[in-house]
Structure 1
Amino acid sequence: MFGYENINLTLSFNLIFFIISLLIIIAYSVYVYKYTLPPVGNLRRFFLAALRILALALLVFIIFEPVLVLTEKKVLPPVSLFFIDNSKSMQINDGTNRAEAVHHFIDEITNTDIKGNKKFFSFGSKIKAVDVDSLDKINFTEPSTNFAQIIEDVKNSDDNISSITIVSDGVMTDGSTPFYSAQRTGIPFFNLAVGDSSRKKDIELKNIMFNEYIYAQTPTTISAIITNNGFAGKNVSAELYEGSNLISQKNILLDKGGVNSLLFEYTPTASGEKKIQIKVSTLDGEASVLNNNKSFFVNVLDNKINILLIAGSPSADLTFIKNSLSDDPNFRVNTLTQISSDKFLEQNQNLLLDSANIIYLIGYPNQKSGNEFLARVLNKLKTKNIPLFLLLSSEVSPVKLKEIEDLLPVSVTQIENNFLQVQPDPEITELSNPLLSYSSKNEWSNLPPIPQALSNVKVKPESKVIAKTLVNGQPKNNPLIITRYFGSKRSIVVLGNEVWRWKLQTAQKDIKLFDNFLLSSSRWLNAPDEDKRIKIRTSKRFYSAGEPIEFSAQVYDDLFNPLSDAELKLNISGPEYHDEMILNSIGNGLYEGSISINKNGDYKFTGQVLFDGKNLGTDNGTFNVGDVDLELAESRMNFEFLDQLSTETKGKTYLNTNTDQLIKDLIQTNQNSSKEKILTSEIRLWSNEILLFLVILLFSLEWFIRKRSGML
């Protein structure tokens, strides 16, 4: 009817009520115009009654919120999608002339009559729609190959997609493996493999293993695998570089099994981010020399972390904690032992405080603690984001502790001289926590009791209770060990003292629980910040020359609310290069921007954030241009990848010499791929202005006729 499969009218109330309302309206209108003053002719009375009935009926109709539902059946023709690999690897000369093979297939498919529509796209780092007339302009210059983007593009399409054809060498250099997501589309992939899949004589460096975070002056091992095909028995050298400095060199006899393991010992001399490169010498006849070296970055932490123990008085806790922490060669442990107001046993307390990377407060601050030094400690903790460990005893002054409460995982309003003897009871959900993971729950629960001062303590919402207490073997809800990681501030509180008892008992059983807890706590406190108010990152660390370098940033205020209207200025510097750019806000505290650099080298960037004329802070990082060109590193066509992709989607992969069969299969697939789509549209009549206009018009016409007739 009228080109629609179905037309339906729905009301928000039961139709019976609408019919009853109409009958009441009709009866009322007839009754009103049965007798009139002055009397008028029957024709006029009937006309006026009809106007009243229509006006009131339309008004009730609107009140019942009518919706007109129109159902239309539409036949969708099949659409065949073609994705052409436009990356630089398609220019590799392996004897097959990949570019010519691609353009030959394009000519064939554009001149073939396939049922439905054909759409063409190029893909690499991005998906781009290409007109048929522009297909010959595909120039194979994209710096990366991302197959996953094809799936995302297909998911957002409303077309009746009958098949997807990918023309590529199958070398994926960016994005995730698309097998699972491609399978979920339910669309067959017919892939045309371009290039030579035979293994050529080559040497390749692969599978580099390293620790992302290491300590200065501490040896670490970097491992790698060297594979060879056709060079067994040949000698090559492998070199390890930090930046441009040669660190180590090894001579290697290539194994006839095709695989050699490589181990380097690397000892960084200073902290900071270091670019490491492994280079394997080249031999004549290699298919590609670009895969003979790889680069990566490591973060080198200070070799000696300065830990300052500030004690309210000499105690066994101070001695035992110092001895345990001193066992780690990466820690330099200093102490400040208070003997009176602002007086300590040790000298140079200001110098020790200024150099501290972590601060332990052991029964400090107490009533004797001087305000001047306490203020210096507070300033150090707040302005330098120094992590804090607090051992809370009954000697601690809650009034003075209030000064640093913002940094603690708990709020303390009262500490009494009375105490309970408690044992730790680790939370089940925290047994994998790095502070506890070296020991079992049973080992913790069997530790000797320690005194816990009766106090009024409230755990902050963002804090985490690692362990509660046992009193006489019975679990209590009182916290004992609490941590907090909020923003860039980390802190740990142990609500008790005389923890030296734990060391004595475990030492007798050769259990390292006490030592491991303190060492793990210090490492956790000193861990690099993940949650910073300002984060600026590149999408990856290594780029090809001319490839867009994409920056993304997150900006938060002091309470970690996102800031979307700040100004984020980025300074980029490198070899004979300097540039500035402003990152654009995209809302919710997120910023982005991109730039292209054609000169190879290592680059640094520093971002500064300004808000209301104030400097909120900075962030920085590094990236490299040109050291690694993944598109040219692999010269072999990856037929296996393309074949698995088509198998997972019930399609097929063809060599570029078999395009005739590919085209036949596409024609066959499209024969029965038309499908019907039901389109439903709703028209909300009750919100239509025309109906309201008609109601007003009918009432106005009735009123006009009544006045002309002299009726009341």
Structure 2
Amino acid sequence: MNITSINISLDSNLFIIIVGILVFAGYTYFIYKYTIPVISKTLKYFLIVLRSLTFAVLFLLLFDPVLVLTSEETSPPINYFFIDNSASMVQQDSIKNSSILKEVVNKIESNLTDETKIFPFGGSVKELENNSADLLTFSEKFTNFDKITDFIERSKENIGNVIFLSDGIITTGSNPVKRIETRTIPYSVIGFGDSTKHNDISVGSILTNNFIYSGKETTVSAVILNNGFSGKTVQVDLFENNMMLSRQNIELNPSGVNRINFNYTPATPGEKKITVNVSPLPQEFLNNNNGKTVYRNILNSKIKIVLASDSPSSDFSFIKNVIDQDENYEVIPIVSVSKNLALDSNNPAQIDSADIFILIGFPTSITSPELLNKISNAILQRQKAFFILLTKKTDLNKLSPLAGILPFVASQNPANYERAQIEIVDKFNPLIQINGKYNDEEWSNLPPVVALISKFDARKESEIVAKIKLKNISTDIPLLLTRSVGKSRSVALLGYEIWRWKLQNKNSAIFDQFIRNIILWLNVDPEADRFKLSSTKRNYALGEEIEFRGEIYDEKLLPIIDAELSVELSNGESREEVYLSIDDNGFYTGRTSAKLLGDISYKAKAELNGNVVAEKTGKLTVENINPELINLTMDKNLLKEIAFTSGGQYYDVSQINNLVEKINKNNSTKNIIKTFRDEYTLRSEELLLIIVILLLSIEWFFRKRSGML
């Protein structure tokens, strides 16, 4: 490392510092001009220099001097050689293939001119001791390409080239191509393995609807793949939680692909394990891939929304149209047409089964007490979420049963309405996000609504999302409010005629998205939303790493960073507990290897100050299989894609001489010069204090020796 420059930076103008030092030097000369007793000129000038140096150092320290050293270091390129150490690399002829691979590794390592580090990888990446190929075991049960990308991103060395020897078979983790796109290091990829397709049958995928409801029939589709068994008949079984529901016999297609559909009607809601198995045939290369499992969350039913209105108004019609467009919602319309009649309100069971209530100008003076009680009791007793939109016809006195859970406190003054524009004050609120973001231009140019201009205060636990502007003048009068306390959620819009937002721009999604956002926000269980926990996937092999990630929030949905999170896993016979710790990104993470076999239930809990504040349950499956033995066909296309994406090149084993020659040639121009800048704050350096004391001590010594005061 060579020092290229030395600088001192000062917290002041250099001219002022020089003048100050000269003043101090002049003063020192003046006090030593006449001495008692008289001393020699040589000693006098020596003492003047000592005192001036002392003053100069002390004066400089007043301006925070910083010593800056700049140095450079030439860093030659290093080759990173990653070797797939998994069992699939040698499985078909372990002794022969192992010997070939070790010979390839030794040949590449010995012929590269620059330093080469060898890293075997499987479920993790480790540096090979002494670069000895004899230590390669080719016994890893998993192949995770993500670990290589992580390792390279953490490295601070000058990586000239990445050499990558693999069969391209990923058994855990994700496809690395997208992450490699962002790197500038070329991958020289060596493919090793058998690309011949063997006679085999497998379940390629299981497809279902995104939303499955209990008691309602849906379709489970399975893709069955075969090679070499065209015309053969196999049995395909559908299982739910390990119980067989249906069986079909199919004749395998010459194209190698069969799609089979099962009618599936889940009896109860909750998480279900859905498995499709294909009966094995003689002479199959592998039987481990004849089944596949997915997990699906079965919903209770469609979300039922009571839409109650004072009359068949435009707001009612436009909101109903938005809800009707979504097949996951079921609308229960209730329209008051007289004091004793409300359309579709004569079925109490419909109101009792509702999940969300939307009240448009409801209740009014003509709303029957029976209907009002039904809706109020459903909201209060069953803690159902609601959205209320006030109109001139809303009877605020009749809202008294809901007064405690409304987002606002009604004023005793008469309710006055006037046309006003909406002004968003909480731009991050989920209710006003359009396509995932806030669009100020769209919200600012909306037509005015008929807004309540009487001062209604927001409850202290409520959030004001928007206020009103009267004649383009901002006010403190709330227009849109939300409230979330415990399991109770509500939204209030203190105005009406929001249907005009839809007509402003027919191409704009602002009205539809606003209504959907309200429903989505109201439908979230606040308690469940506060504690999130997930595993990296749902199906694991014995010994594979399981990672849990958790998030915990307080009632205001602010992250809690000092909770204690744990997950207990059980297969009915044995138990295991995993503790999660918070990482640099604010997530709680915990890892364990899959030790328990079978269907695993897990229960996660979050504790704060010794109290359990949230719990969550889930399921996963651990099978006694070796993923490396499920697929033994080299994925040459993936390896070529990795090489091409990185700007490198693909090589067969027979072409390693070309690889070595190209890397040696390219690396000759890849030396990089690293510049280092070190700063030292001189005011805090003990050495300067020692120098000042030493200068003063030397001066004092000679003054004393000369008999001076």
Give TM-score, length-normalised by structure 1. Answer: 0.78
In 2, the alpha carbon distance for the partners of 1:600 and 1:49 equals 87
**SS of alignment partner, residue 551 of structure 2:** strand
Question: CA separation of 1:648/1:693 partners in 2, compared to 1, >3 Å: closer, same or farther?
Answer: same
Residues 1:604 and 2:601 are matched in the alignment: yes
Question: CA separation of 1:593/1:430 partners in 2, compared to 1, >3 Å: closer, same or farther?
Answer: closer
Equivalent residue letter for 1:596: S
Which residue pairs with 2:386 in the alignment?
A: 388
Which residue pairs with 2:75 in the alignment?
A: 76
Question: CA separation of 1:612/1:208 partners in 2, compared to 1, >3 Å: closer, same or farther?
Answer: same
- 1:706 is displaced (CA, Å) by 4.3
Alignment of 1:195-594 (within 5 A): 195-303=193-301, 357-360=355-358, 380=381, 386-393=384-391, 394-397=394-397, 402-405=403-406, 408=407, 413=411, 416-419=414-417, 454-457=453-456, 490-495=489-494, 525-526=522-523, 532-586=529-583, 590-594=587-591
Q: Which region of structure 1 is more displaced relative to structure 2, 14-23 or 116-125? A: 14-23
In 1, the alpha carbon distance for the partners of 2:688 and 2:423 equals 72
In 1, the alpha carbon distance for the partners of 2:374 and 2:302 equals 25
Which residue pairs with 2:150 in the alignment?
A: 152
Question: CA separation of 1:517/1:69 partners in 2, compared to 1, >3 Å: closer, same or farther?
Answer: closer
Please tell me whether the aligned partners of residues 84 and 122 of structure 1 are also in contact (alpha carbons under 8 angstroms): yes
**SS of alignment partner, residue 9 of structure 1:** strand
In 2, the alpha carbon distance for the partners of 1:69 and 1:561 equals 43
In 2, the alpha carbon distance for the partners of 1:141 and 1:379 equals 61
Question: CA separation of 1:554/1:42 partners in 2, compared to 1, >3 Å: closer, same or farther?
Answer: same
Please tell me whether the aligned partners of residues 217 and 264 of structure 2 are also in contact (alpha carbons under 8 angstroms): yes
**SS of alignment partner, residue 290 of structure 1:** coil
In 2, the alpha carbon distance for the partners of 1:176 and 1:663 equals 29
Please tell me whether the aligned partners of residues 225 and 262 of structure 1 are also in contact (alpha carbons under 8 angstroms): yes
- 1:223 is displaced (CA, Å) by 3.1
Alignment of 1:79-158 (within 5 A): 79-93=78-92, 98-110=97-109, 112-132=110-130, 135-158=133-156
Equivalent residue letter for 1:9: N
Equivalent residue letter for 2:689: L
Please tell me whether the aligned partners of residues 144 and 630 of structure 1 are also in contact (alpha carbons under 8 angstroms): yes
Please tell me whether the aligned partners of residues 451 and 468 of structure 2 are also in contact (alpha carbons under 8 angstroms): no
- 1:395 is displaced (CA, Å) by 0.9
Please tell me whether the aligned partners of residues 354 and 380 of structure 1 are also in contact (alpha carbons under 8 angstroms): no
**SS of alignment partner, residue 396 of structure 2:** coil
- 1:483 is displaced (CA, Å) by 6.6
Which of residues 161, 164, 167 is equivalent to 1:163? 161
User: Where do 5+ consecutive residues of structure 2 fail to align?
Assistant: 437-441, 504-509
In 2, the alpha carbon distance for the partners of 1:423 and 1:680 equals 56
- 1:67 is displaced (CA, Å) by 3.8
In 1, the alpha carbon distance for the partners of 2:624 and 2:517 equals 37
User: Where do 5+ consecutive residues of structure 1 fail to align?
Assistant: 435-439, 507-512
In 1, the alpha carbon distance for the partners of 2:485 and 2:170 equals 39
**SS of alignment partner, residue 641 of structure 1:** helix
In 1, the alpha carbon distance for the partners of 2:59 and 2:572 equals 78
- 1:57 is displaced (CA, Å) by 1.8
**SS of alignment partner, residue 144 of structure 1:** coil
- 1:126 is displaced (CA, Å) by 2.2
Question: CA separation of 1:242/1:658 partners in 2, compared to 1, >3 Å: closer, same or farther?
Answer: same
- 1:637 is displaced (CA, Å) by 0.2
**SS of alignment partner, residue 93 of structure 1:** helix
**SS of alignment partner, residue 455 of structure 2:** strand
Which residue pairs with 1:30 in the alignment?
A: 29
Question: CA separation of 1:249/1:378 partners in 2, compared to 1, >3 Å: closer, same or farther?
Answer: closer
In 1, the alpha carbon distance for the partners of 2:376 and 2:612 equals 25
Question: CA separation of 1:620/1:674 partners in 2, compared to 1, >3 Å: closer, same or farther?
Answer: same
Q: Percent identity?
A: 32
Give TM-score, length-normalised by structure 2. Answer: 0.78
**SS of alignment partner, residue 561 of structure 1:** coil
In 2, the alpha carbon distance for the partners of 1:323 and 1:654 equals 62
Which residue pairs with 2:51 in the alignment?
A: 52
**SS of alignment partner, residue 127 of structure 2:** strand
In 2, the alpha carbon distance for the partners of 1:229 and 1:625 equals 28
- 1:167 is displaced (CA, Å) by 1.5
In 1, the alpha carbon distance for the partners of 2:362 and 2:232 equals 67
Question: CA separation of 1:85/1:28 partners in 2, compared to 1, >3 Å: closer, same or farther?
Answer: same
- 1:363 is displaced (CA, Å) by 6.1
- 1:333 is displaced (CA, Å) by 5.7
Q: Which region of structure 1 is more displaced relative to structure 2, 294-303 or 646-655? A: 646-655
In 2, the alpha carbon distance for the partners of 1:90 and 1:462 equals 59
In 2, the alpha carbon distance for the partners of 1:624 and 1:404 equals 43
Please tell me whether the aligned partners of residues 391 and 496 of structure 1 are also in contact (alpha carbons under 8 angstroms): yes
Which residue pairs with 1:437 in the alignment?
A: none
**SS of alignment partner, residue 291 of structure 1:** coil
- 1:33 is displaced (CA, Å) by 0.9
**SS of alignment partner, residue 288 of structure 1:** coil
Equivalent residue letter for 2:634: M
Please tell me whether the aligned partners of residues 320 and 331 of structure 2 are also in contact (alpha carbons under 8 angstroms): no
Please tell me whether the aligned partners of residues 106 and 133 of structure 2 are also in contact (alpha carbons under 8 angstroms): no
Equivalent residue letter for 1:550: E
